[in-house]
Amino acid sequence: MATVTYRQALRDTLRAEMLRDEDVFLMGEEIGVFEGSYKITEGLLKEFGPRRVRDTPIAEEGFVGAAIGAAMLGLRPVVEIMTINFSLLALDQIVNHAAKIYGMFGGQCSVPMVIRTPGGGGQQLGATHSQNVELFYSFIPGLKVLAPSTPAEASAMLKAAIRDDDPVLFLENLALYNTKGEVPDEVAPAEIGRAAVTREGADITLIAYSRMARVAAEVAEKLAADGVSAEVVDLRSLRPLDRETIVASVRRTGCAVIAEDDWLTYGIGAEIAATIQEGAFDWLDAPVRRVAMAEVPLPYSKPLELAALPSAESLVTAVRDTLAATGRR
């Protein structure tokens, strides 16, 4: 067991998978000579050479398309797109090709590729570089969408993604790269499509993913000091979505708050709220509440940016309002 950053866990896992399987190779802008914009691929060009760590032109549609072709021919490309915002330039390749080929070819051809990409605000990168548009991809059958929140989960889920025979979008919130956590010496691949109950509780369920899953864990710790027992469900996988774990948790606690690092309208949280309504309506003691960012293009100004993003304080307020509505507190 070692304590490492989220960044280091990703790098170590990429290296381990490249050593394990010669069909695994990396593609992306500046991932080789420059060692990646976020240094996830540091040292890998030197170790594995340009055949397996390939710098690409600034042409997302082109190199994602090339990766799809490589995957169809039996390789396992791991593509780094510098931010999820730039993935929109490759939307046609991801949505109309990577996600559709297995079905359109009648199962005769798979697309075993991973697209790693960071997103999220809080870094003063401006409105067009600070988005969480995972909803676009979570909507698409044929894709798998993962969003781990800790170094251990990042390692286990990246292993699973690389070994999976379907295309996987692997989300990394920028705010997580320097966070630390314990990672086992031997990491087994995670089960894709399975949420994790990271903290058990009896009073309320907090449901989140990626950065907000860490915030939810911190809030649950704070609430415990005030006598509130909060259960935390870290989704980890947005498609497939583990509806069973969500519903089972809410049935136990009787109320829920959903936290996401994205806009409220039409968001991931709306899908989770609908899941709770369908599967746990008769167990609810209060309406489901959602915590999300302000519905604005994210400001560059640091004070305005922080004001727009969901916070621990906003989550605590939602929890207290929900519990008050139950009449239990």
Classify residue 282 by its DSSP letter: G
97 classed as catalytic: no
Distances (CA, A) of 86 to 29, 135, 178, 277: 11, 15, 22, 35
User: Does residue 266 sit in helix, strand or coil?
Assistant: coil
Please, are residues 307 and 313 in contact by the beta-carbon 8 Å criterion?
no
Q: Which of 35, 80, 97, 129 is catalytic?
A: 129
Q: CA gyration radius for the chain?
A: 20
Q: The tokens 């519905």 sit on which residue? A: 295
Q: Per the residue annotation, which of 60, 153, 231, 271 is the catalytic one?
A: 60
Q: What is the signed CA dihedral for 130, 136, 138, 139, rounded to 10 degrees? A: 160
- The answer to whether residue 17 is catalytic is no
Cβ density class 216-245: b for 16+ within 10 Å, e for less = bbebbeebeeeebebbbbbbbbbbebbbeb
Task: Write out the catalytic residue numbers.
Answer: 60, 129
